[in-house]
């Protein structure tokens, strides 16, 4: 494929930026891929991957002459980075991001977007529990979704949004446009609340570990270990997600607590029919996830094969 | 290896019984393996696996002449099955089970154990979200733990417990003896509470699905899909687990709710330091699980490789 962008600058070099660079190399989608990280250690790691044409210690240098700038920093840092690079961006270039929340990113980044720069907030719904440039791989976005929340796009910008969509589909993802507030609510359900719940359960077990030594680790294969994977996700990224999607996350957690209390009451009163019916219903939803190609149908994620 | 038991009878032919039969075949651990299921459909499926010497529609026939009888039915059914087979068991034989809770099984089974039968309650801590004999495989117990809760074992029974331990280690598991009430508390942490929480979260999402169509399915790769796997577990088995380990499960859920409220408050008040510190601590525990060989260190359970 011929290049979609001449020069792409990835600002912040974690799992997502590194995976994007891998996937752009795989498809030969960009003439040049440059990156920026403040951390010297991360710069070194990124250079050693040999997927970046240049890695800069300064964000300003990285964005110069870039046709596409992708903000890949934790959502709490998006605004200040956007401010820092604003004056140095190429006229006519496109600015996008990969943040897990969209309303907060729009509110913090938009004030720093120049008239001659086109901003498309986006969120590739993919990741692993690992972080840093070493953790990236080209297949991360294959058959995953990239949600874009550009709001109303004016006619003269339609080709620029099509170009960014083409980049993401060429990277392997499916693209959908969505209202930013709706995005934040849906992701509160499919990502933010589940993460907080997993963090909570692992925190409880960690407290009890002091009593029962390593038993929670030894016998974790009975369900708990799945929670430990999610609860191993990057602390800074997730702190920012919760703080920047406060309302939707708290709303879903409120619904969760209601349901949990109803199930606890069923256990306490011995209402087996209520439990059985509930568990039968949730089983159905799993089928939907597998049929939609969003998870493997191999038992236990196919995990046992690796032993 | 020479046979550890001449004849093993598996009562109830789900994932665990079938996996035990596969593993006993793999290691040539038993002279004969027979099974019982009340369901004709399950009997047919079990026969077609060609790992059972005989499959009976009656539990009484299955246990005749068996040196080892393994109760593999949901924990709520253990007592009545034990009562049904009691008169037909071979003198000097061993009775065991694979139930996920131990105090309730001991209380319901023990009254039906004859003087000349040795009862060892046990729980192999392994499984997948799938159920039925087709779902079984020989490697299920490899490097997992089998917890036994025999209470005080009299000297003349020591060789019988050693024999059962040898069976489980030959099947691939590690064996540990434990107090039954302690077992129920530890498993409430590592299994029962996590399952109820996953069921709850999926139930909440399922409710919201009616509003947002299939969005919770499409964007499930952001964390939620892991919960759907656990919440796809067998409804009857899990109903019984919660009803038979009521006190410990409710105690852990109480602790969970406390922690969840503290984290919700941190989100509401914007206490980023509290969140960051909490998430850093939980990340450590994951490391312990991987180091203990209880999970793969491949990112995302190695799931992406299968695409």
Q: Under an 8 A CB cutoff, do A222 and B127 touch?
A: yes
Tell me, what's the ipTM? 0.92
Query: Could you report the per-residue pLDDT of B109-161, keeping only the tens digit for each?
Result: 999 999 999 999 999 999 998 999 999 999 999 999 999 999 999 999 999 99
Torsion of CA B127, B131, B132, B133, to 10 degrees: -30
Q: Under an 8 A CB cutoff, do A285 and B252 touch?
A: no
Read off the pTM. Answer: 0.91
Q: Which residue of chain B is at minimal alpha-carbon distance from A241?
A: B267
Q: Which residues of A touch B256 (CB under 8 A)?
A: 200-201, 204
Query: Could you report the per-residue pLDDT of B69-79, keeping only the tens digit for each?
Result: 999 999 999 99
Across the interface, which of A135, A182, A218 has its CB nearest the CB of B292?
A218
Q: Which residues of B touch A278 (CB under 8 A)?
A: 199, 203
Q: Considering chain B, what is the average pLDDT of its residues? A: 94
* Percentage of the residues of chain B whose pLDDT score is greater than 90: 84
What pLDDT was estimated at residue A207? 84
Fold topology of B182-270 = 6-phosphogluconate dehydrogenase C-terminal fold (1.10.3660)
Across the interface, which of B128, B235, B286 has its CB nearest the CB of A232?
B286
What pLDDT was estimated at residue A165? 98
Q: Which residues of B touch A186 (CB under 8 A)?
A: 212, 215-216, 219
Domain ranges of chain B: 5-178, 182-270
Q: Under an 8 A CB cutoff, do B223 and A306 touch?
A: no
Dist. CA A218–CA B176, nearest whole Å: 11
Each residue's pLDDT tens digit in chain A (307 positions)?
A: 689 999 999 999 999 999 999 999 999 999 999 999 999 999 999 999 999 999 999 999 999 999 999 999 999 999 999 999 999 999 999 999 999 999 999 999 999 999 999 999 999 999 998 999 999 999 999 999 999 999 999 999 999 999 999 999 999 999 999 999 999 999 999 999 999 999 999 999 988 875 555 888 888 888 899 999 999 999 999 999 999 999 999 999 999 999 999 999 999 999 999 999 999 999 988 888 888 888 888 888 887 654 4
Q: Which residue of chain B is at minimal alpha-carbon distance from A145?
A: B219
Query: Could you report the per-residue pLDDT of A62-89, keeping only the tens digit for each?
Result: 999 999 999 999 999 999 999 999 999 9
> How many cross-chain Cβ pairs, A to B, lie less than 8 Å apart?
358
CATH number (3.20.20.60, 3.40.50.720, 3.90.1150.10, 3.30.420.40) of B5-178 reads: 3.40.50.720
DSSP A88-157: GSPTT-EEEE--S-SHHHHHHHGGG--TTSEEE-EEEE---S--SGGG--GGGGTT-EEEE---SPPGGG
Task: Give the closest residue to B292 by CA, choosing from A160, A217, A18.
Answer: A217
More confident residue, B66 or A293: B66
What pLDDT was estimated at residue B213? 57
Query: Could you report the per-residue pLDDT of B261-298, keeping only the tens digit for each?
Result: 999 999 999 999 999 999 999 998 888 888 888 888 88
Q: Which residue of chain A is at minimal alpha-carbon distance from B127?
A: A222
Q: Which residues of B touch A227 (CB under 8 A)?
A: 194
Query: Could you report the per-residue pLDDT of A234-271, keeping only the tens digit for each?
Result: 999 999 999 999 999 999 999 999 999 999 999 999 99
Q: Which residues of B touch A299 (CB under 8 A)?
A: 128-130, 135
Half-sphere exposure of B151 (CA within 13 A, CB side): 10
What pLDDT was estimated at residue B274? 97
What pLDDT was estimated at residue B304? 60
Confidence of residue B306 (pLDDT cuts 50, 70, 90): very low
User: A92 vs chain B: nearest CA distance in angstroms?
Assistant: 32
What pLDDT was estimated at residue B124? 97
Q: Under an 8 A CB cutoff, do B206 and A137 touch?
A: no
Contact B78, B86 (CB under 8 A): no
CA A194 vs. chain centroid, Å, equals 14
Q: Which residues of A touch B185 (CB under 8 A)?
A: 212
Q: Under an 8 A CB cutoff, do B125 and A263 touch?
A: no
User: A93 vs chain B: nearest CA distance in angstroms?
Assistant: 29
**Cα–Cα separations (whole angstroms), residue B267 to A193, A245, B132, B264, B277:** 12, 9, 43, 5, 13
Dist. CA A71–CA A82, nearest whole Å: 8
Q: Which residues of B touch A212 (CB under 8 A)?
A: 182, 185-186, 189
């Amino acid at each position: 494929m011929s290049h979609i962008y001449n020069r792409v600058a990835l600002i912040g070099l974690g799992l997502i930026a590194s995976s994007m660079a891998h996937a752009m190399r795989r498809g030969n989608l960009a003439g040049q891929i440059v990156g920026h990280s403040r951390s010297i250690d991360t710069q070194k790691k990124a250079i050693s991957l040999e997927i970046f044409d240049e890695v800069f210690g300064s964000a300003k240098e990285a964005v110069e002459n870039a046709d596409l700038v992708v903000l890949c920093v934790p959502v709490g840092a998006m605004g200040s980075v956007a401010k820092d690079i604003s004056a140095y961006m190429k006229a006519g270039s496109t600015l996008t991001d990969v943040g897990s929340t969209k309303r907060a990113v729009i509110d913090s980044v938009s004030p720093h977007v120049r008239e001659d720069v086109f901003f498309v907030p986006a969120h590739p719904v993919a990741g692993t529990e690992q972080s840093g440039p070493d953790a990236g791989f080209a297949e991360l976005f294959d058959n995953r979704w990239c949600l874009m929340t550009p709001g109303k796009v004016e006619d003269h910008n339609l080709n620029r949004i099509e170009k960014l969509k083409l980049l993401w589909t060429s990277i392997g993802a499916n693209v959908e446009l969505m209202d930013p507030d709706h995005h934040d609510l849906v992701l509160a359900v499919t990502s933010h609340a589940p993460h907080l719940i997993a963090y909570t359960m692992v925190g409880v077990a960690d407290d009890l570990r002091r009593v029962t030594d390593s038993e929670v680790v030894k016998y974790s294969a009975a369900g708990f270990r799945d929670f430990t994977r999610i609860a191993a996700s990057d602390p800074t990224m997730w702190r920012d997600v919760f703080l920047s999607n406060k309302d939707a996350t708290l709303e879903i957690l409120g619904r969760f607590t209601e349901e949990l209390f109803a199930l606890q009451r069923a256990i306490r009163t011995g209402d087996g029919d209520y439990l059985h019916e509930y568990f039968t219903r949730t089983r159905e939803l799993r089928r939907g996830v597998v049929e939609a190609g969003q998870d493997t149908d191999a038992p236990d994620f196919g995990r046992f094969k690796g032993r």
